[in-house]
């Protein structure tokens, strides 16, 4: 296998002004340059986007990136343009018909194209894309193939067959956390043949600078009291995750009014323009705390987030690891806290039950799809995919039953993590089959009655706070578009 060390390090210095690669970046690039498909599991903040951006620059071949979120695509396009790459576009519902038609008819003029799996699956778009000899196809946030595909975004399940039609182009799958079971499921769903294997490259997900904690509340009022105390005392910026859009709105307002901390809600109930504005106000330090649903944070390179709080329980440890990994990307001390009170598990449990089509809906759809038209678009889209692939009613019932059992098992693992009297880092790292370091006061709240924020250096010092006006415009631009 050829080693491209000298060339890659020279390109890194010239194009990105970095002296050294982060862990895993150069190794993954070497595999790609030797024409090997890769599933790369790199921790949050490890610079996954740099891998395919640099590959495009050194190979002089076009790169197609399949991305899960419209806001993430737009953000990546703007960053590349800021770096001087003008031949980049995102083909999405955010652009007008004429612009989309122009981009599709001039794909050969672009070096980087971003696209959602849903747009990628459209026959007209697929036809245009298949006319290009792509140097690399990237599946960003590849865990979505396993976690989102079978439940509410079936277009993710089409990716393997689409790439087969494209004669298996060189493929890079990127994610920040994936257990061995999840990695196997991703590769299995991509359905590559034995002549086009996918090599897994897994790097440690442990983030020793993130202190792990959980707070047990007596009831919802006590939970809100604990949260307000934390938000008042913790250094900003921070992210608080919710399972409910309504609750995210309520708590954002509570923090604004009671804690006098600049906060905003971020979720799919807001229009694209509002979400984009809130995201960039957060990047700009004009907002201290984001109250968000789980989608917020994918690809957001804000390296000074000091805390991540989960107001509601995450659905699984993979998601939890992804979300807390958005803290402390600058390497400084940060903290991740779960707030939990008895009964909280009912929310993710209900989501598990209600997110998948029930037996009555499945039978009605198979009898006459029009009879349920408009009643649940997600369920309709899901069943349309499975009927197209000739699944019987019984096969679907068995599939969804297994998915529910798997989700409930994942939730029990989260509950164990949140309620343990032992070392939380040990539980998290053992789940990912990683080596567990020795425990110290910066590890987690094992044998601690309270979090010593001052000892951790996370207690808010109002004199240290900066507003956006303390930065000149060069610093503001760098904060917006700095690529890790």
CATH number listed for the domain at residues 5-202: 3.40.50.300
For residues 468 and 108, what is the distance between their CA atoms, to the nearest angstrom?
A: 40
Structure tokens at 407: 């989700």
For residues 363 and 462, what is the distance between their CA atoms, to the nearest angstrom?
A: 60
Closest CA to 418 of 441, 452, 444, 437: 444
For residues 465 and 414, what is the distance between their CA atoms, to the nearest angstrom?
A: 34
| Res 483: pLDDT | 41
**Domain ranges across the chain:** 5-202, 210-344+420-481, 347-410
For strands 63-66 and 112-115, give the pairing.
parallel
For residues 320 and 413, what is the distance between their CA atoms, to the nearest angstrom?
A: 11
Ordered mean pLDDT values, 10 residues apiece, the chain (484 residues): 88 93 96 97 87 96 91 82 90 84 94 93 92 96 84 85 93 91 91 89 93 96 97 97 94 95 92 84 93 74 93 93 92 97 87 86 95 91 88 93 90 95 96 92 90 95 53 47 43
User: How crowded is residue 419: how many other Cβ atoms within 10 Å of its Cβ?
Assistant: 11
Beta bridge partners of 240: 291, 309
Structure tokens at 315: 């659905």
Give, in order, the Cα–Cα distances in Å from 71 to each of 169, 220, 255, 275, 323. Answer: 26, 32, 25, 8, 17
Cis peptide before 237 (omega within 30 of 0): yes
Place of tokens 């790369």: 40
> Phi, psi at residue 192, to the nearest 5°?
-75, 145
Task: Check: CB of residue 290 under 8 Å from CB of residue 240.
Answer: yes
Does domain 210-344+420-481 sit in CATH 3.40.50.300? yes
Quick check: do 5-202 and 210-344+420-481 share a fold? yes
Task: Check: CB of residue 307 under 8 Å from CB of residue 336.
Answer: yes
């Amino acid at each position: 296998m050829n080693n491209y060390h000298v060339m890659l390090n020279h390109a890194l210095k010239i194009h990105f002004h970095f002296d050294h690669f982060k862990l895993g970046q150069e190794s993954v690039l070497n595999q790609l340059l030797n024409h090997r498909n890769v599933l790369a599991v790199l921790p949050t903040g490890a610079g996954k986007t740099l891998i395919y951006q640099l590959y495009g620059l050194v190979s002089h071949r076009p790169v197609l990136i399949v991305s899960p979120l419209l806001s993430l695509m737009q953000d990546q396009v703007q960053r590349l343009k800021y770096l001087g790459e003008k031949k980049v576009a995102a083909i999405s519902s955010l652009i007008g018909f004429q612009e989309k038609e122009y981009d599709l008819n001039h794909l050969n003029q672009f070096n980087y194209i971003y696209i959602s799996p849903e747009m990628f699956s459209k026959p007209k778009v697929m036809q245009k894309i298949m006319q290009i000899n792509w140097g690399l196809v990237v599946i960003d946030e590849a865990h979505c193939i396993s976690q989102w595909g079978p439940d509410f975004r079936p277009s993710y399940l089409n990716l393997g067959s689409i790439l087969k039609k494209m004669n298996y182009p060189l493929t890079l799958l990127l994610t920040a956390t994936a257990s061995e079971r999840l990695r196997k499921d991703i590769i299995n769903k991509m359905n590559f043949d034995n002549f086009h294997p996918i090599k897994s490259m897994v790097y440690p997900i442990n983030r020793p600078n993130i202190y792990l904690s959980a707070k047990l509340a007596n009831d919802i009022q006590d939970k809100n009291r604990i949260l307000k105390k934390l938000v008042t005392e913790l250094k900003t910026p921070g992210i608080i995750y919710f399972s409910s859009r309504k609750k995210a709105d309520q708590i954002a307002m509570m923090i604004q009014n009671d804690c006098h901390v600049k906060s905003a809600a971020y979720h799919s109930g807001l229009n694209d323009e509002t979400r984009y504005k809130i995201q960039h106000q957060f990047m700009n330090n004009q907002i201290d705390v984001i109250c968000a649903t789980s989608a917020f944070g994918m690809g957001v390179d804000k390296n000074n987030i000091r805390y991540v709080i989960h107001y509601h329980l995450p659905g699984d440890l993979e998601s939890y690891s992804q979300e807390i990994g958005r803290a402390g990307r600058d390497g400084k001390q940060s903290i991740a806290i779960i707030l939990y009170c008895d009964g909280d598990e009912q929310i993710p449990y209900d989501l598990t039950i209600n997110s998948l089509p029930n037996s009555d809906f499945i039978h009605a759809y198979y009898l006459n799809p029009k009879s349920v038209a408009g009643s649940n678009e997600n369920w309709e889209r899901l069943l349309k995919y499975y009927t197209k692939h000739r699944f019987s009613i019984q096969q679907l019932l068995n599939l969804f039953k297994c998915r529910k059992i798997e989700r409930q098992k994942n939730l029990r693992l989260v509950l164990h993590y949140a309620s343990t009297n032992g070392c939380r880092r040990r539980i998290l790292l053992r789940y990912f089959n990683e080596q567990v370091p020795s425990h110290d006061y910066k590890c987690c709240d094992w044998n601690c009655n309270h979090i010593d924020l001052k000892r951790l250096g996370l207690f808010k010092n109002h004199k240290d706070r900066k507003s956006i006006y303390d930065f000149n415009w060069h610093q503001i631009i760098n904060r917006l578009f700095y690529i890790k």
